[in-house]
Amino acid sequence: MTHLTRRSILQGTVATLALAAPAIRRAEAQAAFPSRNMKVVIPTNQGGGADRLARTFDDHWTKMIGKPFEYDFYPGAAGQVGYELFVNRRDRDGHNLLFGNMGPEMIMYTLQNPKYKFPDDFQYFCRLDVDDSVLFVRAQSPFKRIEDVVAEAKKRSVNVATSRIPHPASIGVLALGSATQSKFNLVPYAGGNPTMVAVLNGEVDVGVLPGANPIAMGDRIRILTVFNNKNALAAKMGNAPPVNQVFGTKIPDLYSSRAWAIHTEVINKYPDRFKLLNETAPKVFDVPAYRAEYEKTGAPIESVQYGDRDTCTKYAMAMIELANEYRSLLTGKKG
């Protein structure tokens, strides 16, 4: 006959719990998501456009998923520092996201060839906006039309402020120079706000950025052209003409789009977690208060345009192709 002692019973119970613990933890993790605050990496400076737009969005997203968002900012190497950190040092459990500017950051990815891979390591799944690139000057500038800028650039190299060299707006002005045999010298200022300041204080001749930044400055600046075949925001841009309309060029539409991104491993390993994020994010766009708060950032409400994961991926791949096409202009190297 087997005799059960208190010690043997306790030992058996502990052993059973030890064996069951991993399964219990997995079940609890699956049942309660998010179980802690959401952590977000932004690969640009704090206080910039990405910061403002992300926080405006999460004010309402938080209410839908039940947890607040915390932000870390890692500017550097045109965004590469932030992406490297997100991919390699953030837990791949769904609680970590990246909020990036797909256009310039996919151009950076193409030109700098970092170790992480798209879309193997991360994917964008919620686009917030579509923001056409523009060329602008301060209100007191002697340049009244884009033709004036090009005429001057045929005489000397015109300094152009940009938030970073790998950027759709940078491609726009360099492609314009190539098409019109004019010279433009890009000067990166590590962000939209510093770029605006450089133009306003006369440190540079002109600037190129997504249109939302210059529009927010009102009559302090003058937009001279838009790098798009149609200026959808002409009324807010002083009727600035499309560049191709003025010069008969064939420069492609160049715009930026901010988007939320997540580790690809989360999409595959935790489909329920990704489903929650992927299904709640689009609902934010239907909240009237979100649109009202977005407009308060100074960005035109017309630029708010939701895009799903497929839309984001197609855009990102198009940016890779565009970066390769204009690689020699952006790097100053032929071939």
Please tell me the distance from the alpha carbon of residue 193 to that of residue 195, in angstroms, as a whole number. Answer: 5
- Has residue 5 been placed in a domain? no
Q: Return the pLDDT at 9.
A: 52
Please tell me the distance from the alpha carbon of residue 108 to that of residue 330, in angstroms, as a whole number. Answer: 10
63 shares a domain with 117: yes
164 shares a domain with 104: no
Q: Return the pLDDT at 332.
A: 78
146 shares a domain with 121: no
266 shares a domain with 232: no
Distance from the Cα of residue 300 to its chain's centroid: 17
User: Phi/psi of residue 262, each to 5°?
Assistant: -140, 160
Domain hosting residue 49, numbered range: 32-130+257-331
CA nearest to 73, candidates 233, 199, 227, 191? 191
239 shares a domain with 147: yes
Q: Return the pLDDT at 30.
A: 52
- Has residue 50 been placed in a domain? yes
Q: Return the pLDDT at 22.
A: 56
142 shares a domain with 170: yes
Please tell me the distance from the alpha carbon of residue 296 to that of residue 157, in angstroms, as a whole number. Answer: 37
227 shares a domain with 162: yes
Q: Return the pLDDT at 199.
A: 98
Residue linked to tokens 């360099």: 174
- Has residue 161 been placed in a domain? yes
φ/ψ bin of 267: left (φ > 0), alpha (ψ from -120 to 50), beta (otherwise): alpha
- Has residue 203 been placed in a domain? yes
Q: Return the pLDDT at 296.
A: 85
- The CATH number that applies at residue 231 is 3.40.190.10
Last residue of a domain, one of 255, 282, 304: 255
H helix runs in the chain, sequence order: 6-31, 49-65, 80-89, 102-112, 146-153, 168-180, 192-200, 212-216, 243-247, 264-269, 271-284, 288-296, 309-325, 327-331
Q: What is the pTM of this model?
A: 0.85
Name the token pair of 222: 């003058």
Last residue of a domain, one of 255, 285, 300: 255
Which mean pLDDT values do the consecutive 10-residue runs of the chain (335 residues) have?
Answer: 53 55 51 92 90 94 97 94 97 98 96 96 97 97 98 98 95 96 95 94 97 93 97 95 97 96 98 98 97 87 95 96 93 70
How many separate domains does the chain show?
2
Q: Return the pLDDT at 298.
A: 77
Q: Return the pLDDT at 19.
A: 58
52 shares a domain with 102: yes
Q: Return the pLDDT at 295.
A: 86
Q: Please count the residues of the chain.
A: 335
- Has residue 10 been placed in a domain? no
Please tell me the distance from the alpha carbon of residue 183 to that of residue 185, in angstroms, as a whole number. Answer: 7
310 shares a domain with 197: no
- Has residue 4 been placed in a domain? no
CA nearest to 278, candidates 293, 297, 261, 291? 261
Last residue of a domain, one of 229, 255, 281: 255
- The CATH number that applies at residue 72 is 3.40.190.150
Q: Return the pLDDT at 1.
A: 42
Sheet holding 258-263, edge to edge: 69-73, 38-42, 96-101, 258-263, 122-129, 304-307
